Structure 1
Amino acid sequence: MDGVINIFKQKGETSFKCVSRVRKALNVKKAGHTGTLDPEAEGVLPICVGRATKLVDHIMGKEKTYVAGFELGLVSDTLDAFGEVTATYAVIPPEDEVKKTFAKHIGKTLQTPPMYSALKKDGVRLYELARNGIEIEREAREIEITSIELLSFDGRKGSVRVDCGKGTYIRSLIDDVGRELSCGAIMTSLMRERTGPFSLENSVTVEVLADEPEKHLIPMEEVLSEYDSLIIPEGFRKLLVNGVKIRDTRVTGMAKAGTYRVYSEEGVFLGLGERLEDFFYLKLNLV
């Protein structure tokens, strides 16, 4: 069984537990999620099964949409409402200033990952170090936010919708905004509405999945349907599958530069191919 299940992860459950339950519901050995959601967060969590586990990094690289609740005037050790409050502020800036400060983060910026995260240092999760009172220096990473919309604000609490790329921590974004406003801010809720083509509208809970598991399995080819298809001459199939870059005009002359769903003449889906300058290769081998 190969494909992707668009799971709706519910509050109180870890992403790892979701994968375990999907693996059990589908009776498969190989499964992996496409981007951790904190236990208290909810929303879209695509889970790849079988050969589709090779798509994990591809899907993780897609743009995501989050809706987050926040509260100004507070700072916590976890940057959200589930940690220990370490500072409070009485003076809260007006809505217009809040909106402008969020807007400053649109585009490519540098963001420091939080200590309470699933990132690893020497094989140890950062949140495990943080729980033991250990804080280490984290290198700021480039992130990209394409859109931020202030959905609501009552003078202290509010919510925002954020469209962003891989590696963006919404908790850190809200904490940064609070620091820039000189009043502090914590995240109070988080909903992931979208990961690439996977949205809330076509997601399913593990409970529903267990009733008709195969009904909700999205084939790999459908997941990659945004790309045009290309049939490779049979004589080149083995070379491509073995990672050889082909410069033969019988292949390179078939397509302009770009990414394609690659098929053999027999109709076997081989993976994603890339035409770059004068050569062609499988950038993602799914065979």
Structure 2
Amino acid sequence: MTEARKQRIQRRPVHGVLLLDKPLGLSSNDALQKAKWLLRAEKGGHTGTLDPLATGLLPLCFGAGTKFSQVSLDADKGYLATLNLGVTTTTGDAEGEVLERREVTATRAQIEAVVAKFVGEIDQVPPMYSALKHEGRPLYEYARAGIHIERPSRRVTIHRADIVGFDNALLTLDVSCSKGTYIRTLAEDIGRELGCGASLAALRRTKSGPLTVDRAVSLDALAAMNEVEREALLHPPDSLLADWPALSLDGDEAARFLTGLRRRVKAQDAENVRVYGPQPKAFLGSAHIKSGELIADRLLSPQEVESLLSAA
């Protein structure tokens, strides 16, 4: 390998959030590694796994952005889910072997009534074919070995489930839900309630917190760009916190806050706030306010703040 080639692939500090439109058939980690290589980023991570058979919004965090990836993990999600009514599979989606095919006799009105039952707080049993861990191993490893593990149900919230398509037993739902919701399980439960069974034919994530897929870029498009164009696609780390209230500090107070010191502020108590310095776009980190005190949760380093300001 030539010296020039070594220079071109040298890793470097990259800070921000890339909204990737993950393609079909690629794992979330593979998508991350490809984007990380294209950006030559030193540090990166994704904000919640999408199955290889799922497409859509996958926020990728780099550098300072990784400090706030948990915010996106905890955020509400949006999906376009296509259910194959009358078909049940071993995995609950199109990847598994077909267990049964049944005729679909339900009318649209009956389907609407069943779907409506699942809006609100519901209990879900996580699927065996999932990355959820049991004694240190993901459940899908047990499933592939033919071992059944009892899973406790968990409470999730379906904020909205609108029917946007119904044709030839393919039912497409626009779903808004809380973190931890398994859309495959939702599909199977709706099919069970209808009496014909169902599996997930396709899944596309459209939203994660304030972030939407219409602002995302494909890997192919990213690969076709030069480095300056790729960097221009990076959103600042505070984009993950865009729906939180903001608080600005003057120069002295900002400097003290960055050292982790609690500050007295004239603001209402809040579980989550994003904190800025006196300069526009000088994002300092996340915090909460309790009894008039601003208490830091995740802080950027002074070097990260300067790097983000220079890139703005």
Q: Provide the TM-score with structure 2 as the length reference.
A: 0.83
The counterpart of 1:26, out of the listed 39, 43, 46, is 39
User: How many correspondences in the alignment?
Assistant: 281
Q: Which amino acid aligns with 1:216?
A: L
Counterparts of 1:143-154 in structure 2, within 5 Å, are 143-154=156-167
Q: 2:29 aligns with which of 16, 38, 44?
A: 16
Distance 1:285 1:112 in 2: 36
Whichever residue aligns with residue 270 of structure 1, its letter is: L
AA at the equivalent of 1:215: A
Confirm or deny that 1:220 pairs with 2:232.
no
1:109-135 C-alpha deviation (Å, 9 max, x unpaired): 111111111222222122222112122
User: Structure 1 157/221 Cα, relative in aligned 2: closer, same or farther at 3 Å?
Assistant: closer
In structure 2, the partner of 1:72 is: 85
Distance in 1 between the 2:152 and 2:190 partners? 19
CA distance in 1 between partners of 2:253 and 2:107 (Å): 67
1:92 and 1:155 in contact (8 A); partners too: no
The question of whether the paired residues in 2 share the 8 Å contact of 1:95 and 1:155 is answered with no
- After superposition, residues 204-215 of structure 1 pair within 5 angstroms as 204-210=217-223, 211=225, 212-215=229-232
1:237-284 C-alpha deviation (Å, 9 max, x unpaired): 557644x5x3xxxx3342222233223568853201211234321122
Residue aligning to 1:158:
171
Q: Contact conserved, 1:94 with 1:155, CA < 8 A, in 2? A: no
2:238 maps to amino acid: E
Aligned equivalents of 1:68, 1:25: Cα separation in 2: 30
Q: Give, in whole Å, the separation in 2 of the partners of 1:234 and 1:266.
A: 12
Structure 1 counterpart of 2:269, one-letter code? A
Matches for 1:22-171 after TM superposition, within 5 Å: 22-90=35-103, 92-154=105-167, 156-171=169-184
Unaligned stretches of 5+ residues in structure 2: 1-13, 302-312
- Equivalent position SS for 2:61: strand
Note the alpha carbon deviations across 1:190-230, whole angstroms, 9 max, x for none: 11111122222110012222313201111113443433232
Find the counterpart in structure 2 of residue 252 from structure 1: 264
Deviations 1:23-69 (A, max 9, x none): 11111131111111110110010100112111111012222111111
Distance 2:253 2:161 in 1: 50
Match of 2:249, SS? strand
Structure 1 match to 2:248? 230
Instruction: Report the 3-state secondary structure (helix = DSSP H, G, I; strand = E; otherwise coil) of the residue aligned with 1:36.
Output: coil
Q: Which secondary structure does the structure 1 equivalent of 2:152 belong to?
A: coil
> Which residue type is aligned with residue 295 of structure 2?
Y
User: Residue 209 of structure 2 corresponds to which residue in structure 1?
Assistant: 196
Contact 2:266 2:292 in 1 (8 A): no
TM-score under structure 1 normalisation? 0.90
Distance of 2:210 and 2:104 partners within structure 1: 41
Instruction: Provide the C-alpha distance between the structure 2 equivalents of 1:234 and 1:121, rounded to a whole number of angstroms.
Output: 49
Among the aligned pairs, what percent are the same residue? 36
What is the rounded CA distance, in whole Å, between the counterparts of 1:155 and 1:178 in structure 2? 15
Judge conservation of contact 1:52–1:286 (CA < 8 Å) in 2.
no
Equivalent residue number for residue 309 of structure 2: none
In the alignment, the residues of structure 2 paired with residue 52 and residue 177 of structure 1 have an alpha-carbon distance, to the nearest angstrom, of 37
In structure 2, distance between residues paired with 1:232 and 1:116 = 51
**What residue ranges of structure 1 are gaps of 5+ in the alignment?**
none
Residues 49, 184 of structure 1: alpha-carbon distance in 2 compared, 3 angstrom cutoff: same
State the secondary structure of the residue aligned to 1:190. Answer: strand
